[in-house]
Amino acid sequence: MADKKIDSEVSEAQIAVHWKEEGYFKPSEKFKSQANVKDNSIFKRFSMENFPECYKEYADMLDWYEPYTKVLDSSNPPFFKWFTGGKLNASYNCIDRHLEKHRNKTAIHFVPEPEEEAIQHMTYQELYIKVNEFSALLRDFCGVKAGDTVTLHMPMIPEIAVAMLACARLGAIHSQVFSGFSGKACGERVADAKSKVLITADSYYRGGTLIDHKEKADIAYDEALKEGQKIEKILIFERYPGKYSAKTPLVEGRDYLVNDVIKKYYHAKVDPVALASEDSLFIMYTSGSTGKPKGAQHSIGGYLAYVTGTSKYVQDIHPEDVYWCMADIGWITGHSYIIYGPLALAASSVIYEGVPTHPDASRPWRVAEELDVNIFHTSPTAIRALRRIGPDEPTKYNYHFKHMTTVGEPIEPEVWRWYYNIVGKKEASVVDTWWQTETGGFLCSTLPGIHDMKPGSAGPGVPGIYPIIFDEEGNPLPAGSGKAGNICIQNPWPGRMLTIWGDDARFVRQYYQRYNKDPKSKDWHDWPYFAGDGAVEAADGYFRILGRIDDVINVAGHRLGTKELESAALMCQEVGEAAVVPVSDPIKGKIPHIFVSLKPGYTASTELQKKVTDTLAKEIGPFAKPGKVWIVSDMPKTRSGKIMRRILSAIANKQDVGDITTLANPQVVEEIINMP
Ligand code: PRX
């Protein structure tokens, strides 16, 4: 750990020092005139003085069955509870309450990946009917009730929204596993969440291929069983209702096609269950610094209030907007800013099934033109890819974005400018939103109608969020110091997860121990949230996020734990040791390279390299495939036997390896550098 800390400190500080300050871009008058936040009074309303009462403003955007009696219960830090005493239902807030005014308005535009397939439009009324029927099926056919967990392994088809909102209607806690995860990874998460029901789909399109997704459910079933959790029912949505499109057969008495079973529940209505604000809405697994993924457990009231408020103020969503976030709903961005936030505000949200560049780099712009999308939200990886293969394509299409978001990774100023000038046609306000699975919603961003934009910087804390940068010793680094440190949030906020599913101790250790000086303190001021990112604060109070300081690699916006990848590689019987390092990539930001040394008796070969790659895809998912597998005779190690990842990272990134004289085996470094 000591080596790693020094390593990241040096490189972050160097980057920060060498960074030139970028110029500002101003939001347009047209944008400002229609913005949800037009004036600076918001900062007064959300000032530290008004904390925590300021967050009433977000809670009051929701409908409550019972009003909350307390805004923040901070009596047991860091287990903060928001809007206690209040009762509500997320499904009601995202659907039922809109029916009076917006019943015939599109809730979801579903854009299939094959362009020859028609776009489907589901109104709020249709969503209401489908969610009611599926809730009835979950309750009466599967016995699901409030507090149960249900795992979803759903691709980007509209039924993903139906399934989530049906769970929410009953008070069941959904745990959506990104569809790109392997069956095994899904099964592990089923076992951790103790789900008896798995909701999946037969197939979906990705990159031009109709993928058999059902086969993963069989593997998930076996894996969960191995870990002591029996899945009682697997519910399968068909990509083409009534036409089962997977090769993998159904298992009788376990697998059910929703399209068949639902017939019994046509016309059913299920009253939304009134749930406590601090009850759980969902679990979202994410990678951390150990091999085991952790389930971020999110509340109903705090989370929904926070994503609704930030969708309104940061995303500038109005009910008449057509909003398209290209993230996958299997990750937190999709939960917060495709489903819950936009639907709570009665917007039309676009769900796109496939790859942004399929069949070519202008697909997103055709979709934007056809649907009149006016708010667009994506990641730097997608922006880089679209820029590389179709730098002028946006200019050929007649769409107009008023607002655009970038999320998930640092964006290079050059790429930001292309996004602003070419994709946004110099008309859109761009927000660079920094946040995490654990935080539920945005932490740092400019407000699109008020702040000037600065390429490459997320911006100040969003309303009610007070970030601070600490150095290793816990001293605050003031704005404009030019020094990088660890970004923390000083105050609690409603969107933050409740805990790590089943592991309160890990929750405290991971996010609060670092800068908490008194573990017994009952004062929230003593509990800054430690995000695990390096950052630097410019003199203007804008934060630039530098990336993870722990063992997490951010690959194309997907968060991968190096330990997870390493333990997966060790599943190959030939592999003795494995070490994963992040390597800079012009499109994906970072990609993992894996170094492996073999057990005695085995020799390096291209087959073995492939085997390691295939093992990572099988254990975790195809998105975890390494950029390169290095089979080395030995790892560079300290005298105490610790693998020097810093040196492997320097080699893979073609940088100077620095001083290696203290290593136990310095000769191996030269050997690795000279590898083909
Ligand atoms: O390192 C930060 C990076 O993504 C991490 C969180 O990943 P995840 O939990 O998967 O959530 C992704 C969607 C919010 C952070 O710790 N990150 C996120 N947004 C930004 C970012 N890095 C730089 N700039 C951002 N805007």
Q: Which one has a higher pLDDT value, 293 or 206?
A: 206
Give yes or no for residue 4 having a pLDDT over 80. Answer: no
Instruction: Give the CA distances from residue 199 to residues 146, 152, 274, in Å, rounded to whole numbers and listed in that order.
Output: 17, 5, 24
pLDDT in the model for residue 659: 86
CA of 625 to the centre of ligand 1 (A): 20
Whether the CB-CB separation of 656 and 650 falls below 8 Å is answered with yes
CA of 58 to the centre of ligand 1 (A): 23
Question: Which band of pLDDT confidence, cut at 50, 70 and 90, is reported for residue 613?
Answer: very high
How confident is the model over 546-568, as a mean pLDDT?
88
- Which residue is it, tokens 């209401």? 128
Q: How far apart are CA 551 and CA 532, in angstroms?
A: 10
Give yes or no for residue 383 having a pLDDT over 80. Answer: yes
Whether 458 lines ligand 1, by a CB cut-off of 6 Å, is yes
Q: Whose CA is nearest to atom 6 of ligand 1?
A: 436
CA of 461 to the centre of ligand 1 (A): 14
Beta bridge pairs of residue 631: 596
pLDDT in the model for residue 642: 85
Give yes or no for residue 3 having a pLDDT over 70. Answer: no
> pLDDT digits over 104-129, tens only?
999 999 999 999 999 999 999 999 99
Q: Which of 434, 446, 530 to mutate to test the pocket of ligand 1 (most atoms within 8 A of CB)?
A: 434
84: DSSP letter: E
Give yes or no for residue 13 having a pLDDT over 80. Answer: no
How confident is the model over 180-208, as a mean pLDDT?
97
Closest atom of ligand 1 to 327 CA is 13
> pLDDT digits over 366-379, tens only?
999 999 999 999 99
pLDDT in the model for residue 19: 62
103 φ/ψ sector (left φ>0, alpha ψ -120 to 50, else beta): alpha
Global confidence as pTM = 0.94
Whether 437 lines ligand 1, by a CB cut-off of 6 Å, is yes
Q: Whose CA is nearest to atom 22 of ligand 1?
A: 409
Question: Which band of pLDDT confidence, cut at 50, 70 and 90, is reported for residue 558?
Answer: confident
Give yes or no for residue 513 having a pLDDT over 60. Answer: yes
pLDDT in the model for residue 641: 83
Whether 545 lines ligand 1, by a CB cut-off of 6 Å, is yes
Q: Which of 331, 338, 486, 559 to mutate to test the pocket of ligand 1 (most atoms within 8 A of CB)?
A: 559
pLDDT in the model for residue 20: 75
Share of the chain above pLDDT 70, in %: 97
CA of 17 to the centre of ligand 1 (A): 22
Q: Whose CA is nearest to atom 15 of ligand 1?
A: 436
CA of 562 to the centre of ligand 1 (A): 16
Q: Whose CA is nearest to atom 10 of ligand 1?
A: 559
Whether the CB-CB separation of 329 and 176 falls below 8 Å is answered with yes
Whether 280 lines ligand 1, by a CB cut-off of 6 Å, is no
pLDDT in the model for residue 6: 34
Q: Which of 384, 511, 533, 549 to mutate to test the pocket of ligand 1 (most atoms within 8 A of CB)?
A: 533
Largest CA distance in the chain: 75
Q: How far apart are CA 548 and CA 487, in angstroms?
A: 10
Whether the CB-CB separation of 199 and 235 falls below 8 Å is answered with yes
Whether 431 lines ligand 1, by a CB cut-off of 6 Å, is no
CA of 407 to the centre of ligand 1 (A): 7
How confident is the model over 223-231, as a mean pLDDT?
98
Whether 533 lines ligand 1, by a CB cut-off of 6 Å, is yes
Whether the CB-CB separation of 356 and 382 falls below 8 Å is answered with yes
Q: How far apart are CA 492 and CA 542, in angstroms?
A: 20
pLDDT in the model for residue 18: 56
Give yes or no for residue 5 having a pLDDT over 60. Answer: no
How confident is the model over 587-600, as a mean pLDDT?
94
Q: How far apart are CA 669 and CA 656, in angstroms?
A: 11
Whether 559 lines ligand 1, by a CB cut-off of 6 Å, is yes
Give yes or no for residue 196 having a pLDDT over 50. Answer: yes
Whether 590 lines ligand 1, by a CB cut-off of 6 Å, is no
Q: Which of 284, 333, 407, 444 to mutate to test the pocket of ligand 1 (most atoms within 8 A of CB)?
A: 407
Q: Whose CA is nearest to atom 25 of ligand 1?
A: 434
Strands (E), 192-293: 197-201, 203-206, 209-212, 233-237, 255-257, 275-276, 280-286
Q: How far apart are CA 429 and CA 183, in angstroms?
A: 40
Whether 464 lines ligand 1, by a CB cut-off of 6 Å, is no
Q: Whose CA is nearest to atom 12 of ligand 1?
A: 408
Give yes or no for residue 152 having a pLDDT over 80. Answer: yes
Instruction: Give the CA distances from residue 144 to residues 141, 167, 227, 252, 272, in Å, rounded to whole numbers and listed in that order.
Output: 8, 8, 22, 20, 14
What's the one-letter identity of residue 513? Q
Whether 447 lines ligand 1, by a CB cut-off of 6 Å, is no
Helix (H) / strand (E) element for 308: namely helix 301-313
> pLDDT digits over 291-350, tens only?
788 999 999 999 999 999 999 999 999 999 999 999 999 999 999 999 999 999 999 999
Closest atom of ligand 1 to 531 CA is 16
pLDDT in the model for residue 559: 87
Whether 286 lines ligand 1, by a CB cut-off of 6 Å, is yes
| Mean pLDDT of the chain, nearest integer | 95
CA of 544 to the centre of ligand 1 (A): 12
Question: Which band of pLDDT confidence, cut at 50, 70 and 90, is reported for residue 49?
Answer: very high
Q: How far apart are CA 338 and CA 647, in angstroms?
A: 41
